């Protein structure tokens, strides 16, 4: 089974995904890292050089490939849901957990992060609000489970995810 994490940048997909993978004793893959390995450069560099549309083409190919290999925990890039093919592959080939955070919480976490190309703008909080408005419906469309992240610890979030998966009969109860 593939367990994919979706959500806005900074929602905890990679951090929570690593711990969830450890807990479920599954391999962990970050789609952004897989994309960078394929590109041979950072996403930010590629974004600046080739543009978002070309990046999304590569991302779609990588997500298609990663959702065919099982089992694993997969952390996706924040914009992976922008392509309907990605939403379809993620949803039909595994279970999708949407780590839902408010734009204000994400801004608080990310305000000093210079490695996220979409946030290198004059007003990052407004940008986060715009991203949330655009992407929240798409995350919901892809997701089997929606988890409000708020401020609990990573361990608490992992416990909440595992409990949801157990209640849904997706993983055996411990």
CA distance 55 to 43: 8
Q: Is 126 among the annotated ligand-binding positions?
A: no
CA dihedral 151, 152, 155, 159 (to 10 degrees): -130
Known binder of ligand: residue 13? yes
Asked if residue 12 belongs to a known ligand binding site, the reply is: yes
54 is known to lie in a ligand binding site: no
Q: Tell me if 27 sits within 8 A of 72, measured CB to CB.
A: yes
**Residue 11 annotated in ligand binding:** yes
Q: Annotation-wise, does 15 bind a ligand?
A: yes
- CB neighbours of residue 83 within 10 Å: 17
| Residue 32 assigned to a binding site | yes
Going by C-beta distance under 8 Å and a sequence separation of 6 or more, which residues neighbour residue 36? 42, 43
Q: Is 72 annotated as a binding residue?
A: no
Q: Is 40 annotated as a binding residue?
A: no
> Residues annotated in the binding site for ATP, as ranges?
10-15, 116
> Residues annotated in the binding site for Mg(2+), as ranges?
14
> Residues annotated in the binding site for substrate, as ranges?
32, 56, 78, 135
> Residues annotated in the binding site, as ranges?
10-15, 32, 56, 78, 116, 135
């Amino acid at each position: 089974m593939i367990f994919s994490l979706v959500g806005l940048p900074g929602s905890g997909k990679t951090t929570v995904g690593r711990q969830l993978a450890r807990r479920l004793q599954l391999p962990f893959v970050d789609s952004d890292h897989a994309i960078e390995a394929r590109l041979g450069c950072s996403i930010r560099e590629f974004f600046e050089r080739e543009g978002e549309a070309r990046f999304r083409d590569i991302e779609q190919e990588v997500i298609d490939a990663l959702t065919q290999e099982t089992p694993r925990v997969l952390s996706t890039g924040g914009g992976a849901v922008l392509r309907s093919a990605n939403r379809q592959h993620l949803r039909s080939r595994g279970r999708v957990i949407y780590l839902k955070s408010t734009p204000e919480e994400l801004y608080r976490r990310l305000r000093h992060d210079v490695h996220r190309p979409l946030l290198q703008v004059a007003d990052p909080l407004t940008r986060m609000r715009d991203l949330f408005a655009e992407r929240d419906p798409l995350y919901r469309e892809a997701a089997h489970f929606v988890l409000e992240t708020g401020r609990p610890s990573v361990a608490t979030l992992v416990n909440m995810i595992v409990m949801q998966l157990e209640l849904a009969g997706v993983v055996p109860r411990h």
